Chains A and B, each alone.
Chain A
Amino acid sequence: MLFVLAATLPGLLPAATPPENDDARALIATLARPAPATIDFTEIRFSALLKQPIIVSGQLAYSGPDALDRRVTQPYREDTEIRGNAVRVRREGEPERNFAIKRAPELQLLLRTFTAMLQGDAAAIEKNFSLAATSDPIRWQLVLTPQDARLARRVQHIRIDGRSDLPRCLSIVNDARGASIMLLGAATHVQMPPVVTREWLERTCSAGE
C-alpha cells in the first residue's frame, strides 16, 4: 500500500487526499516528543538578492507551545527568543530588535509546525495547511501548503523530510529563488560541498543515508 516516491517533487503531490492524510497523521503522531526538546540545525538561506546562500548553524530549543529559541552559534552569535507573540532578536554588537511574530510569517510557520510536530498533533497543522505525505518504511516526507492566501503569496510550501521517527530537514520555500532550508539533527553533520545548491540540499534531505 505504500509507494516509494523518494525523488518526487513535493509540489506535484496531490494535496489533501484522504489516504495520504491518514499517512500524514500517523506519521506526525510518531514524531511527538515531550518538551523541552533541543535539536541542532544548519540553515541555508537562498534569496534573489544573494549570489550565494548564507549559512548559519546553532540549536533550536522548544520549551512549550509558545516558546521557541533559535540560537545561532556559527559564524556569529545571534539569539532569537519567541515568547507568545513577541519576538526578540539579540545579535552581538547590535541593539536588541523586537517585533510581533505576525511580522515574520516564516518564523510563525516554523513555530507552528514545530509545535504541532513535537506534540504529534496533525489536527493543529491541518487548521492552517493542507497536508500531504509520502513515505517508505524508512524515509518520509511531509508537505504543508498554506491555506491562507496572504501567507501563500510569501510561502509556497513547507516540507519536512525525515527518517524513521526523526526529522532531517525543514524547508520553507518562498519561490524559485527564495527558500530557507534547515538541516536538522544528524543531517547537520553531512559534509557540505563548496557551493551549496538547492538541488544538493534536496538530495541530502531525501537521502535515506
Chain B
Amino acid sequence: MKRTPFAIALVTAWVLILAALGWYVQKDLVIGTDLRLFLPSASTPEQRLLLDEIGEGPASRTLVAAIDGDTPEALADASRELVAALSDSENFRVVSNGDVSFDVIPDELLAYRYLLTPTLDTQAFDTAYLRRQLDDRARDLASPAAGMLEPILSRDPTLEILTLLQTWQPLREPNRLYDVWFDTAGTRALLIAETTAPAFDPDRQRAAIEEMQQAFAAIRTNENMHLIISGPGAFSVLMEHRTRSEAQALGTAATIGMIVLLFIAYRRLGSVVLSALPLLTAGIAGLLSVSLLFDAVHGITLAFGFTLIGVAQDYPLHLLSHARPERSPLQSVRELWPTLMTGVASTCIAYATFLFSGVVGLSQLACFTVAALVAAGLTTRFLLPRLIGESSRDFGASPFLGRLWSRIASLPRPRSIAAALAVAASAVILFAPGPMWENDLSKLSPVPPDLLMRDQELRSHLGTPDLRYLLVVEASDDAAALQRLEDLQPALLDLTQRGVIAGFDDASRYIPTAQRQLDRQQHLPGDAELRASLAQAVTGTPFHPDAFEDFVRDVARARELPPLTPQALRDSPLGAVLDLLLSHRGERTLALVTFAGVNDPDALHELSRDGAVLLDLKSASESLVAQQRTHLLWSLVIAAVLLVAVIAFSLRRIGRVVRVLAPMALTTLIILAALHGAGVPLTLFHLIALILAAGLGLDYALFFEHAAEDPQEQRRTLHAVLVCSISTLMVFALLALSDLPVLRAIGLTVTIGVVCNFVLALLLTRETRS
C-alpha cells in the first residue's frame, strides 16, 4: 500500500467510517425469523389461514417433549414434576402430560359440570335416578376405587366430574402409563407444551426451551434420563444455531483459504488486506439500507445477502490483476471501469427486479445486494486505487500465463458444441423424470429430515389429529361460532357413521352454546325439589342422610351461573385445546373442526357450505409455493430482459452482446439440467443461487470480451478471472459440503455455475479470428 500521508489518512478515515456505521447498524438491528417474510401474501382464504397458522397459530406454538432413560414409573414422576415446575411459567401457556385428575378442573368451573355434560339432556335428577346412583356409589365405596372416589362423593354423587373428564378426553387417547401420556412402547413419557411466543421468535422460544431444560435438569433422577423437545419453535432455535455455527465454520475456512489464495496470487499482503475493504463496505452498506427501509432484517436475507455479495470481492481482484509497473492503479482502474461498471450495473438490475416480487424477504434481499454491490463498485473505483501502491510486476508479462493462454487459444472452439450442449441441456430439463419444482413448503425449512420424522413420530403417539384437512368456520364472535359448530354436528356424525372419517373434534365438544347451557339449567331441579328427592333416595342406602350437602349446594350454584364462555375456559388447563379449535383473528372468530382418519377426502367437501370452508392445507401450501415461484420466475424473466438491454446498451454490437451473454445463458441451462437430471427438485434457494451464478458468468465474459485483442491484457484478464473463479469456487464448494439443505443448494448451484461459466467464457467469448 501507499505510505503517503494522504493514503494513510484516507484508509484511516475509511476504516473509522465503516466502524462507526457498523456500530450504528448493529445497535438497532432487528433480525426477524418469520418465514412468512419469504412467502408471497395470501390471495385465497386457505392461504391466509395457512400463513396465520405458520406464523402464530397455536399449532406452530406447540412443542412436543419426551422423557426417556428410566423406568416408566420414574419417567411418569418426572413428567408430573415437569408439569408442576412449569405451571407458573411466563414462557408457557400450558404444559400438559395427560394427567387429568379431579383437581385439574379449577374449583370455579366445577359447578358448571351440569351445564357442560349431556346428562341433563336425557336425564332428570329425580328420586329414581338418584337412588340408582347412590346404590352404585355404595358399591364403589366397597370397591378398590373407593380411595379415588371417596373425596368427591359428597359433592358429586352422580360422578358428573368423571363424565365431564371423559367428554374432554382427546379424540384418540394416547397410551397412558401411571396416568400420564407415553409412547406405545412405554419407554418415553410424552408432554405437550404451548409456548406464549410464536414459533418464529427464536429468542423467546429459546428462553422457553431453556427454562424447560433447566426445570428438567433439576428433577432428573439419573444421568441417563433425557428430555427431547421437538416442534416448530425448537426447530427454529436449533436451526438458527446450526445455520449460524455452520456458516461461521465454513466462513472461517473460506476466509483463511481466500487469504492464502490471494497471497499466492499477488504476493502483496498490504494489497490483499486492502482489497477486503470494498467487500466490508458492501456488507455494511447492505445492512444499513435494509435496516433503514425495513423494520426487521430477516435472518435469511442476511445469510443470503452475505453469500450473494461475495461477488463484490471480485472487483478489487480485477484491479490487482491488471496493475502493472508503468501504470498507476488509478490509471488501471479507469481502463477497467466501463467493464466493471457494466458488470455491477447489470447484476444490480437483475437483483432489483426482486424489489417487485411481492415477497418482502426478496425485496429486502434486492435492497441489500444492490446497495452492497454499488458500494463495492464505487469504492473499488474511487477509493481503493488511491491506497494501493504501484505494482512491481505485470501479470501480462507472465510467461506461464502466456503459455496457458496460447494453449487455450489453440483449443478447438466449434460453435456447434455450444449449440449441442444447449440442446442436450434443454432435453434433460424437459424430459428427465422427477418433479422440476419442490412444492412442499416444509422442504423450504432447513430442518434435517430425521428431526422432522422424530417430531411426526412423537405426534403420532400423542394421537394429534391429521391436520391436512380442516373445516374452517368463520363467525363474528365466539357465541356465533359455537352455534355454527352445533348446527354442523348432525352432518359430522353422519360422516363418521358412513366411515368417511374416523372421528372429529371441535370446540363444541368442550363448551356447548349458551342456549344449550341455559336449557340444561332449566332441567336442574329446584333446591326444595332436589332435597326431597335426595332424602327419599338416601333412605334405604347405607349413606348418611346429610352426606350430600355439597352436592345440593353445587346444583344450586349451577342453577344461578351465567353460561360458561370460551374465554373463561381458555384460562383453564383446557385452554390449549380450546385455543387450537377456537381462535381469534382480529375481530372475527375462527373455529376449526379437525378430523381423524380421513378415508374419503372428496366426501368431506359436503361440509363446505354456509361459510364453512374445507381446507386442504397441503394443496394450500403447494399453491402458495407455486405462487411464490411464479413471482420469482417473472422477476427472473424481467431481470433477463433488463440484463440484455444493459449489455446491449454498453457493448453496442450484436456480435459482442451474443458472445458475452452466451456463456451465462448456456451455464444456466447446464445448471438446471444437472440439478434436474440428478433428481433435485428446485427451490427458492436454487433460483436465487442461479442469479448469483449468472452474475459471475456475466463478469467473466465481460472481462474476457474487454481483453479481446491485446495479448498482455488477455493474460492479465486470465489471471484476474482465474483468481476470482478459484476463490469463488472454493467458497461455494465448501457450502456444497454443508449438511443444511439451504447452504447445500446454494453451494451446489454456484459451484457448477462457476466452473461452467469460466470454461464457457474462455471458449465462447473471445472473438474467433477469421
Residue of B72, B139, B176, B545 with most partner-chain A CB within 10 A: B139
Q: Which of B142, B179, B547 contacts A100 (CB 8 A)?
A: B179
Q: A80 — nearest CB in chain B belongs to which residue?
A: B144
Interface presence of B649 (CB below 8 A): no
Cβ A78 vs Cβ B542 within 8 A: no
Minimum CB distance partner of A44 in chain B? B142
Closest to A87 in B: B144
* Partner-binding segment picked from A23-31, A51-59, A121-129: A51-59
Shortest B189–chain A CB gap in Å is 13
Per a CB cutoff under 8 Å, which of A51, A52, A53, A180 touches B146?
A180
Q: Is B154 an interface residue (CB 8 A)?
A: yes
Q: Indicate whether A94 reaches chain B with its CB closer than 8 angstroms.
A: yes
Taking a contact as CB atoms under 8 Å apart, the answer to whether B143 and A78 are in contact is yes
Interface centre among B147, B154, B177, B544 (most CB of A within 10 A): B147
* B98 CB → nearest A CB, Å: 11
Of the candidates B148, B150, B544, the one whose C-beta lies within 8 Å of that of A178 is: B150
Q: A51-B542, A85-B177, A100-B179 are in contact. Are A45 and B147 (CB under 8 A)?
A: no
Known: A49-B544, A50-B542. Contact between A106 and B147, CB under 8 A? Answer: yes
Contact with A along B162-184 (1 / 0, CB 8 A): 00000000000000111100000
A47 contacts B141, CB within 8 Å? yes
A91 in the interface, Cβ–Cβ < 8 Å? yes
Could you tell me which residues of chain B, from 135 to 161, have a CB within 8 Å of some CB in chain A? 136, 138-139, 141-148, 150, 153-154
Known: A43-B142, A49-B154, A76-B139. A100 touches B176 (CB 8 A): yes
Which of B144, B147, B148 lies at the interface centre, i.e. has the most chain A CB atoms within 10 A of its CB? Answer: B144
Interface residues on A, range: 35 or more
Question: Is B543 close to A, CB under 8 A?
Answer: yes
Question: A52-B542, A85-B177 given as contacts; is B148 within 8 A of A103 (CB)?
Answer: yes
Q: A49-B544, A91-B139 are contacts. A104–B176 as well, Cβ < 8 Å? A: no
How many angstroms between the C-alpha atoms of A76 and B179 in the bound complex?
29
Per the bound structure, the CA–CA distance linking A150 and B141 in Å amounts to 21
Complex Cα distance, B146 from A51, in Å, reads 16
Interface residue A154 (Cβ < 8 Å from any Cβ of B): yes
Determine whether the beta carbon of B148 is less than 8 Å from that of A54. no
A85 to B180, CA, bound (A): 12
Question: Least Cβ distance of A183 to chain B in Å?
Answer: 14
Across the interface, do B544 and A50 meet the contact criterion of CB distance under 8 Å?
Answer: yes
- Whole-angstrom distance from the CB of A130 to the nearest CB of chain B? 21
Separation in Å of the A66 CB from the closest CB of chain B? 12
* Chain A: minimal CB distance from B137 (Å): 9
Closest Cβ of chain B to A42, distance in Å, is 11
Whether A106 pairs with B146 at a CB distance below 8 angstroms is: yes
Cβ of A15 < 8 Å from any Cβ of B?
no
* CB-based contact A102/B179 at 8 Å: yes
Interface string of B31-73 (1 = CB under 8 A from A): 0000000000000000000000000000000000000000011
Taken together as a complex, chains A and B put the C-alpha atoms of A53 and B101 apart, in Å, by 27
Residues of A within 8 A of B542 (CB): 50-54
Cβ–Cβ < 8 Å partners of A154 in chain B: 147
Partner of A70, one of B139, B144, B147, B176: B144
Could you tell me the distance in whole angstroms from the C-beta of A111 to the nearest C-beta in chain B? 10
Contact residues in A for B144 (Cβ distance below 8 Å): 70, 80, 87, 89, 104, 106-107, 110
* Cβ-based interface call for A105 (8 A): yes
Q: Which residues of A contact B101 (CB under 8 A)?
A: 103
A200 at the interface (CB under 8 A from B): no
Closest to A107 in B: B144
Distance between Cα atoms of A78 and B139 in the complex (Å): 9
B147 adjacent to A105 (CB under 8 Å):
yes
* Residue pair B178, A54 in contact (C-beta under 8 Å): no
Q: Which residues of B have CB within 8 Å of A85?
A: 72-73, 177-178
Query: Contact at A49–B153, with CB atoms within 8 Å?
Result: yes
Assess whether A45 is in contact with B178, with CB atoms less than 8 Å apart: no
CA distance A63 to B136 in the complex (A): 29
Are B142 and A99 neighbours in the complex by a CB distance under 8 Å? no
Query: Could you tell me the distance in whole angstroms from the C-beta of A83 to the nearest C-beta in chain B?
Result: 13
Contact A104:B147 (CB < 8 A) given known A49-B547, A50-B141: yes
CB-nearest residue of chain B relative to A105?
B147
Question: Which residues 85-131 of B sit at the A interface, judged by CB distance below 8 A?
Answer: 101
| Residues on the A chain within 8 Å of B154, using CB | 49
Query: Of residues 81 to 134 in A, which have CB atoms within 8 Å of B's CB atoms?
Result: 85, 87, 89, 91, 94, 97, 99-100, 102-107, 110
Give a binary string over B508-548; 1 marks a CB under 8 Å from any A CB, 0 the rest. 00000000000000000000000000000000001111010
Complex interface: chain B residues within 8 A of A47 (CB): 141, 146, 150
Let me know if A100 and B178 touch, CB within 8 A.
Answer: yes
B148 A104 Cβ-Cβ under 8 A: yes
Contacts of B148 in A (CB 8 A): 99, 103-104
Give the docked Cα–Cα distance between A99 and B176 (Å).
Answer: 10
CB closest chain-A residue, reference B157? A49
List B contacts of A104 (CB < 8 A): 144-148
Q: Which of B147, B176, B543 contacts A49 (CB 8 A)?
A: B543
Q: Within the complex, what minimum Cβ distance (angstroms) separates B101 from chain A?
A: 8
| Nearest CB on A from B81, distance (A) | 13
| Contact status of A103 and B543, CB under 8 A, knowing A76-B139, A78-B143, A94-B136 | no
Q: How far is the CA of A76 from the CA of B136 in the complex (A)?
A: 11
Nearest B-chain residue to A78, judged by Cβ: B143
B376: min CB distance to chain A, Å: 68
- Please, how many angstroms separate the alpha-carbon atoms of A144 and B72 in the complex? 27
In the complex, are the beta carbons of A80 and B543 less than 8 A apart? no
- In the bound assembly, the distance between CA atoms of A23 and B147 in angstroms comes to 31
Q: Which of B141, B147, B179, B545 contacts A54 (CB 8 A)?
A: B141
In the assembly, what is the distance between CA of A188 and CA of B34, in Å?
A: 73
Contact with B along A162-199 (1 / 0, CB 8 A): 00000000000000001010000000000000000000
Q: Which residues of A contact B150 (CB under 8 A)?
A: 47, 49, 178
Closest to A82 in B: B144
Q: Give me the interface of B with A, judged by CB distance under 8 Å.
A: 72-73, 101, 136, 138-139, 141-148, 150, 153-154, 176-179, 542-545, 547
- Knowing that A47-B141, A51-B542, A72-B142 are A-B contacts, what are 9 other residue pairs whose CB atoms are under 8 Å apart, sorted by A's residue number? A43-B142, A45-B146, A47-B150, A49-B153, A54-B141, A76-B139, A78-B139, A110-B144, A178-B150
Instruction: List 28 contacting pairs A-B, 8 Å CB cutoff, sorted by A.
Output: A43-B142, A45-B146, A47-B146, A48-B547, A49-B141, A49-B544, A50-B141, A50-B542, A50-B547, A51-B543, A51-B544, A51-B545, A54-B141, A55-B142, A70-B144, A72-B142, A72-B143, A78-B139, A85-B72, A85-B73, A85-B178, A99-B148, A100-B177, A103-B101, A104-B148, A106-B144, A107-B147, A110-B144
Residues of chain A whose beta carbon lies under 8 Å from any beta carbon of chain B? 43, 45, 47-56, 70, 72, 76, 78, 80, 85, 87, 89, 91, 94, 97, 99-100, 102-107, 110, 154, 178, 180
Ranked 3 nearest A-B pairs via Cβ: A107-B144, A49-B547, A106-B147
